[in-house]
Amino acid sequence: MTDDTQALAQGLNRRDPDLLDHLIELYQHRLYRYLLFLTGNPALAEDLFQETWIRVLERGHQYNAKSKFESWLFAIARNLVIDVSRRKKMSSLEDLGDPDSNQPFDPPDEHSTSALQLLVSRENQQAVQLSLLKIPAYYREVLLLRFHEEMGLEEIAAMMSTPVSTVKSRLYRGLAALKSVLPEGAV
């Protein structure tokens, strides 16, 4: 345990508002992107962003500094997303908790446009980026954590409370799903 993570754990235990201000500033982009990619809904991502930090405040004493702070933070955010998806039965999240069916991946309708697609397409029209939004959330999540956040397999597994083998399997399926949504002419 480094001095930094120990100091972080102590600060969270004290519910230090200055520390929380700093953490919110520091992790705002990564956390918001993670929530947006998971939910596909900017308004919901905003709500969950705020709720995640409230939960960090309330449960700061549970952070033991054995894991990286960002893994703990994402785990909180992930649990909130799962709670919301269960409460609202959001089909777009396709139940993050139990995605490992043997059914083949079925690409969605080319013309369907989610709020996330609109948000991203306003800034970047490249079809290649929109392709990412066509794969199921539970694959998108592991791909994001692995290839954007550059988390290790064990780290992702700990965050998601699943075995490493499950994470690997989702990554392989996620890559296969990516292949199936490649823009025409790309392959």
Partner 1 sequence: MTETLHIRAQKFFAQSLVEGLSHPDQSWLDQHLHECTDCVREIASIQELLHALRTVPVSVPRDLAARTQLRVRLRAQEPTLTSHGNFLLWVITGFSWFVGVLSAPLVWRGFAWVGNYLHVPKLAVEMGFVLWWAVPALFAVAAVLHQKGFNISPSRGPN
Give the binding site for partner 1 (CB under 8 A).
Answer: 15, 17, 20-21, 24-25, 28-29, 32-33, 36-37, 42, 46, 49-50, 53-55, 57-59, 62, 72, 75-76, 79-80, 82-83, 119-120, 123-124, 126, 128-129, 131-132, 143-144, 146-148, 153, 158, 161, 168, 171-172, 175-176, 178-179, 182, 186-187
Shortest separation between residue 172's beta carbon and partner 1, angstroms: 6
Shortest separation between residue 171's beta carbon and partner 1, angstroms: 5
Q: Using the minimum distance from each CB to partner 1, give the nearer residue, 5 or 55.
A: 55
Q: Is 32 exposed, middle or buried (0-12, 13-18, 19+ CB in 10 A)?
A: middle
118 — phi, psi (to 5°)? Answer: -60, -45
- The answer to whether 100 and 49 have CB atoms below 8 angstroms apart is no
CA atoms within 13 A on the CB side of 147: 13
Q: Using the minimum distance from each CB to partner 1, give the nearer residue, 53 or 138.
A: 53
Q: Using the minimum distance from each CB to partner 1, give the nearer residue, 75 or 94.
A: 75
Q: Using the minimum distance from each CB to partner 1, give the nearer residue, 55 or 65.
A: 55
Angle of helix 17-39 relative to helix 69-88, nearest 10 degrees? 50
CA-CA distances (angstroms) from residue 179 to 8, 131, 135?
Answer: 41, 9, 10
Q: Nearest-CA neighbor of 80 among 117, 116, 50, 120?
A: 50
Q: Using the minimum distance from each CB to partner 1, give the nearer residue, 6 or 161.
A: 161
Q: Using the minimum distance from each CB to partner 1, give the nearer residue, 87 or 111.
A: 87
DSSP secondary structure of 35-50: HHHHH--HHHHHHHHH
Shortest separation between residue 41's beta carbon and partner 1, angstroms: 13
Residue 100 burial (CB count, 10 A): 11
Shortest separation between residue 6's beta carbon and partner 1, angstroms: 18
- Read off the DSSP letter of residue 102: S
Shortest separation between residue 178's beta carbon and partner 1, angstroms: 5
Shortest separation between residue 38's beta carbon and partner 1, angstroms: 12
